[in-house]
Amino acid sequence: MKAVTKAYRPISWPMKGAGGDTGTWRTHRPVVDIQKCTKCQICWIYCPEAVIDREESIVDYRYCKGCGVCAAECPTGAISMVKEE
Amino acid sequence: MKAAQVTMETGAHAAALAVKSARVDVVPGYPITPQTSIMEAVAEMVENGELHARFIPVEGEHSAMAAAVAASAAGARVFTATSANGLLYMHEVLHMASGGRLPVVMCNVNRGIFAPWTLWADHQDSMAQRDTGWIQYHCSSNQEVFNTILQAFRVAEQINIPVMVNFDGFTISHCLMPLTVPPQEEIDRFLPPHEPEWRLDPAHPSSFSNVTNAPEYAPFRQMLSDDIMAAIPLVKQAAQEYKDITGMWDGDTIDTYRLEDAEVVAFAVNSMAAELRLSVDILREQGIKAGLLRPRLYLPFPAEDIINALPQNAQVMVLDRNYNFGHPGGILAAELKSVLFGRRNDITVKNRVMGIGGIDLTRRFMADEIRAMMDD
Amino acid sequence: MTTSIKQLPDIEQVLSGNGACGGCPATMGLRVVGKALGSNAIMLLTPSCAVASMGMTPKLGYNWPCINICFASAGSSASGITHAVEIMQEKGRLQGELPTVFTWTGDGGTYDIGFQALSAAAERNDNIIHFCYNNEAYSNTGVQRSGATPRGCFTTTTPTGKRQPKKNLALLMLEHNIPYVATANVAYPGDLYDKVVKAKNTPGTKYIEILAPCYLGWQFDMSETVQMSRAAVRCGAWLLWEAENGKINFNNPSARIISGKKAAEPVDEYLMNQGRFNRLLKGPDATQRIAEIQGDIDREIAFMRERAKITV
Ligand SMILES: Cc1ncc(C[n+]2csc(CCOP(=O)(O)OP(=O)(O)O)c2C)c(N)n1
Ligand code: SF4
Ligand code: SF4
Ligand code: SF4
Ligand SMILES: [Mg+2]
């Protein structure tokens, strides 16, 4: 029989958005020109945030921090960083 | 039913035998006099297969406690032991154990602390850890060391708070006394397997002690403070059930001797309290109505039990084997006064510090001191 | 053959929307590590950016069981966990494949305060992987020097540029006679992935150090994290190598530099692109101080080339 107060231990559980809706941090958003995209997956692997869909090169803007690594690494120049309104 | 074994053992070996009886899983250890013999005995038991556990020979006490808390978070039953500077070196991790609610059990073999170096007993080391959030027992015999380690595991795992079992270097750790080891079935009945309701488990990922904002942090600290106080009934229950199963009794939160009609009460912990029983007899022969109150549990401080046990108008002679730097006298006296204030205004508290760095505390010396204190 | 990007597994152990800075190299590296380790692992973290990034109670941005431990104790706490899970399995309290026990630790927690416990864990050869994501400073406390900070680098505690070279910790770990040591870099994810898979499948202590150029500490634009990582390798400031049972092999592009097939690029441009060096380059003794940095790199390349020849 445990004799302790409930929820006494500092435990956390995995979830997306542990740092909040990090998309709000963006000053610029990555916009993918699908015409130029060769689906090489380079942006997918370098994105620190894991917000680029591997197959479709679609960005999850809820969490994309707008760092621009994907645009800098895209070999075909398919990603441009567009200033947020 | 197998009978209990009675052998001659040192306090250190009694501790190691308790670790074996508790079926501990992981023991990180680092040597320091006078604790070393516990680690050596455990390492030997693991090596020869007597104890199915892992002994981790770490490179220092900070690491010993760091390995202990982590192993506990992984779900293991964990023990370690240290003394003096080793305990001080662990300080940061002691807080992690309590704040993280990890039921590690540790022996601290009391020894005076550096500087200058001393090898012999006083209680500055354990009492300097007062505010780390650990439960602390202080033991006065080899048998009590054995019994208390088993009770400590039970209490720690019930309430998820680490427990320190203290006893004096050399006078207990290195002296032979008869030790009764109850049959393993009895111990298993008293101390069920450790089944933590939370552990680091890849099947159910969760994380331990992330950065925590004040609105969440403050309640965790409050719960720790509340739960430490809630250990008192569990300590009593553990002592009672241990007695029911094994027949052995060392007191629960407190231990008393000839206290009922006492006018002069000696108040002290550890081996000096065992010797004080004989001082009490000497004083009684001299016509002084003396008695003894020994807090077996130092933290949480058993305030109610002390208040209820002290006879009317008693003079309490607190014999501290430590200094309460910045205040006159010792730590136990300050603790005692704080609980009596406003509750037992009939009691007088007097205090002397003695036995520092292992100065021998004989029955006669302490009887003389108590007589002298009556005139203070 | 190095695993290609398209061959990397889908699994994501780093969850979107964690607290790391945009462009964070540590998070970038950890994603690849997660693909190699999978979900059956236990993660230990010492105080660092990785802790600041993981979310606050009760939210967690990593999909592993994680434990925050004291700064000095990555090695010893990891030992505690690995022994705990092993004995619990031996006693029948844990079923199935043993989880990989790994630390995810900064250079501060590896080179400096954590070195004693790490060295001891390696000497015991306890079954753990220690990862050091090396951003060459204490980033979390606002960019102070560490033992991994290179010479000439500005930090808040080296306000005129650090006067000493960094130490070669991967080599020090190799000298502990552990079965696997590797260096990696976030610009080369396939290479990192392969190294982590090897470490996962090797019993004993494994050490993997990942260069993690941090835009905040190094002072470049956050979109350039990968470019800066690549530049460090091209100029030889970072060497990619691995050692299985003590035998060192260099990985490309470093292998070409070591063998002399391709000269390392001069360090100037690498330094010029980072605010942490370029203040130095504007000083009156710029030529001499660049020469010192170049000297450290040249010496390290020459030393590692010779060290790799020792295979006994
Ligand atoms: C014992 C202790 N000393 C100091 C600190 C303060 N502290 C927190 S993080 C940190 C630096 C971490 O540096 P590193 O390991 O390189 O990780 P990074 O922040 O660069 O990711 C320091 C000094 C601490 N948490 N604990
Ligand atoms: S890096 Fe560029 S080309 Fe490659 S998948 Fe991404 S958007 Fe497409
Ligand atoms: S801008 Fe950064 S976070 Fe957003 S998709 Fe590109 S790499 Fe990922
Ligand atoms: S300071 Fe650097 S290492 Fe730390 S989270 Fe930001 S980018 Fe990552
Ligand atoms: Mg760092």
Domain ranges of chain A: 32-83
Best probe residue, ligand 2, of A53, A73, A79 (max atoms within 8 Å of C-beta) = A79
% of chain A at pLDDT higher than 90: 87
8 Å CB contact of A3 and B209: no
Question: Residue type at C240?
Answer: L
Distance separating alpha carbons of residues B288 and C194, to the nearest angstrom:
81
Q: Give SS3 for C170.
A: helix
Distance separating alpha carbons of residues A60 and A55, to the nearest angstrom:
13
CB-CB neighbors (< 8 A) of A75 in chain C? none
State CA B291 to chain mean position distance: 22
Best probe residue, ligand 2, of A31, A32, A33, A43 (max atoms within 8 Å of C-beta) = A43
Atom of ligand 1 nearest to the CA of C110: 15
**CATH number reported for the structural domain that contains residue B356 in this entry:** 3.40.50.920
Nearest residue in chain C measured CA to CA from B220:
C57
Instruction: Using only the alpha carbons of chain B, give its radius of gyration.
Output: 20
CB-CB neighbors (< 8 A) of A60 in chain C? 16
Confidence of residue C304 (pLDDT cuts 50, 70, 90): very high
Residues B326 and B180 placed together within one structural domain of the fold: no
Residue C190 CA to ligand 3 center (angstroms) comes to 20
State CA B53 to chain mean position distance: 23
Total number of domains in chain B: 2
> What is the mean predicted confidence (pLDDT) over C21-45?
98
CA angle at B171 for the pair B353 and B69, rounded to the nearest 5°: 90
Q: What is the dihedral of CA C242, C244, C249, C252, to 10 degrees?
A: -40
Pairing of strands C59-60, A11-14: parallel
pLDDT, residue A1, reads: 44
Residues B294 and B266 placed together within one structural domain of the fold: yes
CATH number among 3.30.70.600, 3.40.50.970, 1.25.40.10, 3.40.50.620, domain C5-307: 3.40.50.970
pLDDT, residue B376, reads: 87
Instruction: Answer with the one of B246, B280, B303 that is the final residue of a domain.
Output: B246
Is the CA virtual torsion C2, C4, C9, C15 positive or negative?
Answer: positive
Residue C52 CA to ligand 4 center (angstroms) comes to 9
Q: pLDDT per residue over B241-264, tens digit each?
A: 999 999 999 999 999 999 999 999
Class for the domain spanning A32-83:
alpha beta
Q: What burial letters (b/e) apply to C291-306, b meaning 16+ CB within 10 Å?
A: eebbebbeebbeebbe
- Bond preceding residue B193 cis, omega within 30 of 0: no
Interface of A with C in 25-84 (CB under 8 A): 25-26, 40-42, 44-51, 54, 60, 62-63, 65-69, 71-73, 81
Output phi, psi for C160, to 5 deg. Answer: -120, 20
A23 lines ligand 2 (CB under 6 A): no
CA nearest ligand 2 atom 2, residue: A74
Query: Which residues are within 8 A (CB) of B135 and not within 5 positions of it... i.e. 6 or more apart?
Result: B152, B155, B156, B161, B162, B163, B164, B228, B231, B235, B297, B299, B300
Distance separating alpha carbons of residues B228 and B210, to the nearest angstrom:
23
Tokens (6 digits) for C78: 């990891």
User: Which ligand has the minimum distance to the alpha carbon of residue C27?
Assistant: 4
Q: How many CB pairs under 8 A join A and C?
A: 127
- Whether A16 contacts chain C with CB within 8 A: yes
Closest CA to B106 of B72, B80, B69: B80
User: Which ligand has the minimum distance to the alpha carbon of residue C104?
Assistant: 1
Cβ count near A83 (within 10 Å): 9
Q: Which residues have C-beta atoms less than 6 Å from ligand 1?
A: C 47-50, 71, 106-109, 135, 137-141, 146
- Which of A1, A3, A9 shows the shortest C-beta gap to B230? A3
Best probe residue, ligand 3, of A41, A47, A62, A83 (max atoms within 8 Å of C-beta) = A47
- Which of B100, B206, B234 shows the shortest C-beta gap to A3? B234
Q: How far is CA C130 from CA C116, C125, C206, in A?
A: 13, 12, 6
Q: Contact B136/B375 with Cβ under 8 angstroms?
A: no
Q: What is the dihedral of CA B36, B38, B44, B47, to 10 degrees?
A: -100
- Bond preceding residue C159 cis, omega within 30 of 0: no
Q: Which residues have C-beta atoms less than 6 Å from ligand 3?
A: A 30, 47, 49, 51-52, 59, 64-70; C 22
**CATH number reported for the structural domain that contains residue B179 in this entry:** 3.40.50.970
8 Å CB contact of C87 and B53: yes
For testing contact with chain B, the best of A8, A15, A16 (most B CBs within 10 A): A8
Alpha-helix runs per DSSP H in B301-362: 303-309, 331-340
Instruction: Answer with the one of B198, B221, B246 that is the final residue of a domain.
Output: B246
CA nearest ligand 3 atom 5, residue: A64
CB-CB neighbors (< 8 A) of C221 in chain A? 68
Q: Give SS3 for B196.
A: coil
8 Å CB contact of C116 and B53: no
Is the CA virtual torsion B35, B276, B164, B194 positive or negative?
Answer: positive
Instruction: Using only the alpha carbons of chain C, give its radius of gyration.
Output: 19
DSSP C282: T
8 Å CB contact of C6 and A41: yes
Q: Contact B156/B103 with Cβ under 8 angstroms?
A: yes
Residues B202 and B294 placed together within one structural domain of the fold: no
Distance separating alpha carbons of residues A30 and A61, to the nearest angstrom:
9
Residues B224 and B271 placed together within one structural domain of the fold: no
CA nearest ligand 2 atom 3, residue: A37
Question: Residue type at B169?
Answer: G
Distance separating alpha carbons of residues C300 and C306, to the nearest angstrom:
10
Residues B326 and B215 placed together within one structural domain of the fold: no
Residues B73 and B213 placed together within one structural domain of the fold: yes
Q: How far is CA B184 from CA B18, B143, B364, C34, C294, in A?
A: 11, 16, 40, 45, 68
Residues B89 and B132 placed together within one structural domain of the fold: yes
Nearest residue in chain A measured CA to CA from B216:
A10
- Subunits next to C (3 or more Cβ pairs <8 Å) are A, B
Residues B199 and B89 placed together within one structural domain of the fold: yes
Closest CA–CA distance from residue B53 to any residue of chain C (Å): 7
Residues B53 and B194 placed together within one structural domain of the fold: yes
Q: Is the pTM of this model over 0.90?
A: yes
Interface of chain C toward chain A, CB-CB under 8 angstroms: 5-6, 8, 10, 12, 14-25, 27-28, 31-32, 53-63, 186, 189, 221-227
User: For residue B143, what are the domain limits?
Assistant: 5-246
List the beta bridge partners of residue B177: B9
Instruction: Answer with the one of B216, B246, B276 that is the final residue of a domain.
Output: B246
DSSP C102: E
Tokens (6 digits) for C264: 């390392």
Pairing of strands B177-181, B348-353: unpaired
A40 lines ligand 2 (CB under 6 A): yes
For testing contact with chain C, the best of B210, B213, B217, B220 (most C CBs within 10 A): B210
For testing contact with chain A, the best of C7, C16, C33, C66 (most A CBs within 10 A): C16
Q: Contact B357/B306 with Cβ under 8 angstroms?
A: no
> What is the mean predicted confidence (pLDDT) over A6-18?
89
Burial class (CB in 10 A: 0-12, 13-18, 19+), B6: exposed
Q: Contact B14/B81 with Cβ under 8 angstroms?
A: no
Pairing of strands C66-68, C41-45: parallel
Atom of ligand 3 nearest to the CA of A60: 5
Query: Which residues are within 8 A (CB) of B51 and not within 5 positions of it... i.e. 6 or more apart?
Result: B19, B20, B23, B24, B42, B45
Q: Give SS3 for C309.
A: coil
Instruction: Using only the alpha carbons of chain A, give its radius of gyration.
Output: 18
8 Å CB contact of C55 and A18: yes
State CA B276 to chain mean position distance: 18
Q: Which residue has the tokens 């053959």?
A: C1
Pairing of strands C66-68, B207-208: parallel
For testing contact with chain B, the best of A4, A6, A15 (most B CBs within 10 A): A4
For chain B, residues with pLDDT lower than 70 are: 1
User: Which ligand has the minimum distance to the alpha carbon of residue A43?
Assistant: 2
Q: pLDDT per residue over A33-72, tens digit each?
A: 999 999 999 999 999 999 999 999 999 999 999 999 999 9
8 Å CB contact of C222 and A69: yes
CB-CB neighbors (< 8 A) of A10 in chain C? 57
